[in-house]
Structures are given as structure tokens and as C-alpha cells.
């Protein structure tokens, strides 16, 4: 009976190991090879740790076990190269006492565990000769040309021997956010800096790598012949600094000082600009560390510390469906507020329907939540798993029909209405842009979040954000300071001019210059302007039949007029001529060519001309009053055309003199 019971326990454990491997392998493949996530980091770590523990208990490691794989598979066309020695991953713990026990009476360096792509650099005779990625731990990809354009990798160093070092290629959050804001398609945006860095480092065209601002931070010196490091890892780190390398931030610790040091890093991660998923503890004594050897998977001279995720139990109140400009509608969990890592959180993205269904979420469920890497709120577990969430068949923004689409093994919800308000981010972005109302900090990415959350439906809503303070402050990427800055910028922008408002409406073909000409011609009377007929409009310089029809079409819509009136109710429009500028260039047209000395660029000069009542054109015609070119004797095509038509060619100095009199 005892043997049967033991066999049953062993069989049950083996079955569970197979189940865990079946769940972990696709998630690992998606994360490392395809730069996407099909389960949360929390869940992955939980299942991985369970599998590793079962392998220790049973002494069995199944073929293809996720615990035996290191890094991603080699898939690109970059050259491959085997490492001289396998690059091992680190054993890990989430408990500070376990770190102290591991350290014993030794000293060690405690540093950031950066979340990027591990790179091996080799220098010969003072020059960078090779850079290889970690790859699968045994074979990496040669990315030497790409490493040469990292922003902080020295191409030449003073040391003339053979130097081999390891470090992490990373991209700062600042650059990550900038690059993501430039990507219009929300589905194409990178999920995190690690994914962006991985793709950037392994580009076949290193011009793309250079544009991504990849940084390299050294964390291990492998070989430097002839240099006496006094048996000290710290000496190695500081020597690398003298050679021009940026080294990962570290603290020297003992068993006694370790807890305080970990706490300091935990406090710093909130504002740290480099992605980190934990800490690394590396023995200071090189010889002692090397004497410990290694296991099949881990070196014994270092260990990783992953943040022990602070979890809180709470009640799921609803799933809010967040729409984007591409039509993608993501589920967002709304739960009773809880304190996590020093802040109050009440919402967390669930990412897609597949994850939502895997968690079997339902309103009223008891869930546990945490902050991934102490920053991003996530659901850890669903304790009651009612699975009662209804997937909406209508878009929460426009009410249009939705459909579920499956790409690979991920199911997501989409709005199929081409006129969905959530897809109109561009129109709001134009109104908030510099030449329109100039709402500082209101980027397309921010607008997308606000629209998706149902906080912006009309233009006027841009100036009513204070009504949604709690919701905005709790949104991912926001906080009290960001909210205060945004509402202050909106308040400043609400004092504006009529031409800026008209330009910001996005009427086809009506640019800022046209808007200014219209306002002057109609004496800044919007009521008269929006009821003008084609004859009145085409009488304005620069407004032809096409623009006149676009204008008339826009203001023939009751809905457009309602939106404009509602917007005007939130604005303070300055009276009369913009900034009380005297229209000294009224009726005059200028063309600018060549380089400028007194103005930053042509746009700055054009804006001054327009502000003074003139018109800035791009082509010399019989209607041109002056051609501005500092090389007045040039034989350029514009100079030739001006001379043929008898149009004066003037320099910037001549223009500035004209500015005083207008003639």
C-alpha cells in the first residue's frame, strides 16, 4: 500500500510537471522569440518555480523542460558564433534572508539586474573587434556592427591586451516612450523596453539600431590578461570605468548591510530610467567565487534577487473595455482600491481576451493584484474564478458592432466601425498641437488613453479633464504630478486666438495661414465666417473654390457647429488682431529661399510674416511681392524667376528694415 501511494504521488507529480511544461513553453516562446506576452510575468514565475521545485523533489528533468532553456532561439539571419564557455543564467530568490544566508560572511556587490539583452564584447589591441549576443547560452549572434553604434560603447580603449566583458544592452524608458509615441498603430507599439531593445540590437541595418539609443552597461569582466585586480570584483568594475565603459550601478554589501541596500534599490526603482527586473549579488572575492564552480544551469558565485511582489487581495468590480484608434478593445480590470508599493491602485490592464478567460474573471471575484517590477499594476490570481464576464458585442465608445479576432493563439476584441470616435485620435491631436491650441504634454499616446477610457468625446472635453481627476491619476503612466501638469497646460491653452481655433478644427486644406487670412478678411467675426458663401470666401486671398467648398461643407453640419460652439464655451478668445500685431505686410506676399542667419528656420520667418498681415508662399509668381534670399546675386531658379518678373530679391537685413515700415 505504501509503495502504491508513493508511486501515485510520483505519477501525480510527473503529470503536473508535464502540464506545467505545456503551459510554460508556449509562453516562453512568445516572450523570447516573438516579443509578445500570453501570460503575466507573475503567473510565469509562479509556474516556473513550481516546476523547478518538482524537478528537485523527483530528480527528474523532462526533455525540453523550460528550466533547461536559456534565452531565445536563434532565428535571424545574423552570423552565429559559439561562446567559449556557456553563458549561464542565475539562480534566484525573492527573500532577503535567503540572500543573507547565501552570502554568509563574504562581501559582495549588489547591483541592478537590468532587463535587456546580454552582450559579450571583445577588444584586441585597444579596438572593439566583436560583439555577440547571449543567444541560447551556447551560440549567440554576431552584432558587431550594431554594437559600434550603441550610444556609450567605446570603439577604442587604452588597454592593449585581449579584453572580454559582458553587459546588458538596454533602452531607457525615456527613449522607449519617445519611440512608441512615433508609432501610430497601437498594435505595433512595443510592450516594454526589453522587446524594443531585443529588436534593435539584432537589426540587419545598424542605422535603425543607431536611432534607438541603445546603451551598454557592463556587469562582468571575463578576461583582461596582465591586469592585477587584487582578487576584487570591485577593482574590475572600477578598472572598466577607467577604460570608458559604463558599469551597472552597484553597492558593496555584507550580510548585515544587505537588507538596507535592497531597500534602497527598491525605493530607487520607481524613478530609475533603465528597465530592471531585480538585483544581482556577486561575490567580491574572485578566487573564492570561482572555486565554488557551477551547476548545470547556474554559476555559484552570484545569485539574482527578484522583487518579492507585494500582493493585495481585493474585489473585482467590473471589466472596463478600453478602445484604441486601431479598433482594438482591451479589457481593464476595475477593483476596490488597494495600497501597493506606496501608491493606491484600482485598475489593471488584462491585455486581451485570452488572458481574461484564462483567469476566468467575473464581477465580484476575489483577486490578488501586484505591481510588475514594482511599477505596473497586474492581476496575480483569481481566487474565485466565476468566469461571468460578458464580452461586449458593441463598442463602448461608438456603440458599433464588435468582433473577436484570433492571431496565433491570442484572442482580442475589435470595433469594426470605421467612424468610431476612438479612431479619431488624429483630430484631437491636431487641435492640441503647437500651431493650434498648443496643449503642452497632450501627446497622441495620452489622447489615446483618455479617449479609450471614455473621458474624451468632444473637443470641449480636452478642457474638462479636471472632472475626471481620480480616473486619470490612477491610469497607467499617470500620477498626481502628470495630471496637474496636463490640466495646467489646458488652462493656459484655453486663452487663445481665433485663427488657432480654426486651424485646429482640421477643415480640409485650411492651414494656419489660411485661417489667419480668413479671420482678417472677416474682421475676426466667426458668425459671419461660418455663414459665408462661396463668393465671399473666394474673395479672400489664398482661398479658392476647393477650400471654399470644404469650409462650407464643414459648417453646413449641425453636429460640427455644435462641437465648435461647445469648444468655444471652454475658451477665452483674444480680441481682434493676434497679439495686437500691426499688419504692416497687409496684401504682401513673400517667398523664402536659401539659408537663414537671423531666424532659426523658415517656419519662424513665415510665422512673423503672417503675424504682420502678410502671406508666405512657396513659389515665385506674378503675385509675389518680395523674394527673401541672403544670396541676392544667386543664379538659383527662384532668383531667375523673380528677376524675370521684376520682383525684388532682398536679404534678411532688408526684410528687417521693411518690418519697420512695411514698404
Catalytic residues: 113
Q: Are 497 and 574 in contact (CB under 8 A)?
A: yes
DSSP state of 232: B
Q: Which residues pair with 496 in a beta bridge?
A: 573
Contact residues for 546 (Cβ-Cβ < 8 A; gap 6+): 509
How far apart are alpha carbons 614 and 606 in whole angstroms? 9
- Retrieve residue 139's grid coordinates: 551560440
Distances (CA, A) of 181 to 178, 266, 318: 5, 28, 29
How far apart are alpha carbons 82 and 239 in whole angstroms? 27
Pairing of β 215-224 and β 163-170? antiparallel
Place of cell 500691426: 582
Distances (CA, A) of 624 to 492, 614, 638, 645: 37, 11, 11, 9
SS (H, E, C) 162-217: CEEEEEEEECCHHHHHHHHHCCCCHHHCCCCHHHHHHHHHCCCCHHHHHHCCCEEE
Cα 137 → chain centroid: 29
Q: Alpha-carbon torsion 472, 473, 479, 484, what sign?
A: positive
DSSP state of 596: -
Q: Exposed, middle or buried, 199 (CB in 10 Å: 0-12/13-18/19+)? A: middle
Q: Are 233 and 240 in contact (CB under 8 A)?
A: no
Place of cell 552597484: 250
Pairing of β 328-340 and β 343-349? antiparallel
How far apart are alpha carbons 627 and 641 in whole angstroms? 10
3-class SS shares of the chain: helix, strand, coil, % to 5: 40, 20, 40
Cα 293 → chain centroid: 40
How far apart are alpha carbons 227 and 465 in whole angstroms? 61
Which of 387-393's residues contact partners 24+ apart within 8 Å by CB, and which partners? 387/357, 387/360, 387/361, 387/362, 388/362, 388/363, 388/364, 389/319, 389/331, 389/356, 389/361, 389/362, 389/363, 391/353, 392/321, 392/329
Contact residues for 606 (Cβ-Cβ < 8 A; gap 6+): 513, 590, 592, 616
Amino acid at each position: 500500500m505504501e509503495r502504491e501511494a508513493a508511486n501515485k504521488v510520483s505519477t501525480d507529480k510527473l503529470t503536473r510537471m508535464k502540464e506545467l511544461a505545456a503551459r510554460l513553453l508556449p509562453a516562453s516562446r512568445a516572450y523570447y522569440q516573438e516579443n509578445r506576452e500570453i501570460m503575466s510575468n507573475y503567473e510565469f514565475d509562479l509556474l516556473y518555480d513550481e516546476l523547478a521545485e518538482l524537478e528537485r523533489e523527483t530528480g527528474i528533468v523532462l526533455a525540453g523542460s523550460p528550466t533547461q532553456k536559456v534565452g531565445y532561439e536563434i532565428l535571424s539571419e545574423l552570423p552565429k558564433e559559439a561562446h567559449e564557455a556557456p553563458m549561464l543564467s542565475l539562480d534566484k530568490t525573492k527573500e532577503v534572508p535567503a540572500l543573507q544566508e547565501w552570502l554568509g560572511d563574504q562581501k559582495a556587490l549588489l547591483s541592478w539586474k537590468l532587463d535587456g539583452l546580454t552582450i559579450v564584447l571583445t577588444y584586441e589591441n585597444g579596438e572593439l573587434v566583436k560583439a555577440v549576443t547571449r543567444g541560447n547560452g551556447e551560440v549567440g549572434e554576431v552584432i558587431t556592427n550594431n554594437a559600434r553604434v550603441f550610444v556609450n560603447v567605446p570603439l577604442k580603449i587604452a588597454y592593449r591586451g585581449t579584453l572580454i566583458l559582458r553587459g546588458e544592452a538596454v533602452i531607457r524608458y525615456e527613449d522607449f516612450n519617445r519611440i512608441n509615441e512615433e508609432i501610430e498603430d497601437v498594435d505595433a507599439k512595443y510592450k516594454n523596453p526589453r522587446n524594443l531593445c531585443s529588436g534593435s540590437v539584432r537589426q540587419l541595418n545598424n542605422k535603425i539600431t543607431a536611432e534607438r539609443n541603445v546603451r551598454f552597461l557592463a556587469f562582468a569582466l571575463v578576461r583582461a590578461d596582465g591586469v592585477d585586480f587584487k582578487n576584487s570584483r570591485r577593482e574590475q568594475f572600477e578598472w572598466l570605468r577607467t577604460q570608458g565603459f559604463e558599469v551597472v550601478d552597484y553597492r558593496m554589501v555584507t550580510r548585515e548591510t544587505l537588507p538596507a541596500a535592497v531597500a534602497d534599490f527598491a525605493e530607487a526603482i520607481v524613478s530609475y530610467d533603465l528597465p530592471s527586473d531585480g538585483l544581482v549579488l556577486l561575490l567580491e572575492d574572485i578566487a573564492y567565487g570561482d572555486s565554488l564552480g557551477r551547476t548545470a544551469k547556474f554559476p555559484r558565485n552570484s545569485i539574482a534577487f527578484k522583487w518579492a511582489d507585494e500582493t493585495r487581495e481585493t474585489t473585482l468590480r467590473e471589466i472596463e473595455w478600453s478602445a484604441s484608434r486601431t479598433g482594438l478593445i482591451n479589457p481593464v480590470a476595475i477593483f476596490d482600491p488597494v495600497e501597493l508599493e506606496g501608491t493606491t491602485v484600482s485598475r489593471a490592464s488584462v491585455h486581451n481576451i485570452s488572458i481574461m478567460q484564462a483567469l476566468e474573471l467575473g464581477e465580484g471575484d476575489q483577486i490578488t493584484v501586484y505591481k510588475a517590477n514594482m511599477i505596473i499594476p497586474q492581476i496575480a490570481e483569481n481566487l474565485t474564478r466565476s468566469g461571468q464576464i460578458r464580452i461586449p458585442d458593441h463598442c463602448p465608445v461608438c456603440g458599433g458592432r464588435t468582433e473577436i479576432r484570433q492571431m496565433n493563439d491570442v484572442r482580442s476584441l475589435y470595433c469594426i466601425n470605421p467612424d468610431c470616435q476612438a479612431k479619431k485620435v488624429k483630430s484631437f491631436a491636431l487641435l492640441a498641437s503647437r500651431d493650434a491650441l498648443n496643449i503642452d504634454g497632450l501627446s497622441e499616446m495620452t489622447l489615446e488613453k483618455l479617449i479609450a477610457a471614455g473621458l474624451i468625446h468632444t473637443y470641449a472635453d480636452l478642457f474638462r479633464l479636471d472632472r475626471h481627476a481620480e480616473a486619470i491619476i490612477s491610469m497607467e503612466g499617470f500620477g498626481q504630478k502628470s495630471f496637474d501638469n496636463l490640466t495646467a497646460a489646458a488652462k493656459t491653452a484655453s486663452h487663445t486666438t481665433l485663427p488657432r481655433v480654426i486651424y485646429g478644427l482640421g477643415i480640409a486644406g485650411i492651414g494656419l495661414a489660411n485661417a489667419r487670412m480668413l479671420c482678417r478678411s472677416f474682421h475676426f467675426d466667426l458668425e459671419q465666417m461660418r455663414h459665408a458663401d462661396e463668393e465671399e470666401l473666394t474673395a479672400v486671398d489664398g482661398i479658392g473654390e476647393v477650400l471654399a467648398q470644404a469650409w462650407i461643407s464643414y459648417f453646413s453640419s449641425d453636429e460640427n457647429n455644435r462641437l465648435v460652439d461647445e469648444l468655444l464655451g471652454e475658451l477665452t478668445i483674444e480680441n481682434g488682431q493676434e497679439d495686437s500685431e500691426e499688419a504692416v505686410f497687409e496684401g504682401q506676399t513673400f517667398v523664402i529661399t536659401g539659408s537663414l542667419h537671423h531666424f532659426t528656420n523658415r517656419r519662424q520667418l513665415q510665422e512673423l510674416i503672417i503675424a504682420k498681415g502678410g502671406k508666405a508662399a512657396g513659389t515665385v509668381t506674378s503675385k509675389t511681392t518680395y523674394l527673401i534670399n541672403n544670396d541676392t546675386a544667386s543664379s538659383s531658379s527662384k532668383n531667375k524667376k523673380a528677376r524675370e518678373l521684376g520682383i525684388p530679391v532682398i536679404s534678411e537685413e532688408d526684410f528687417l528694415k521693411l518690418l519697420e515700415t512695411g514698404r
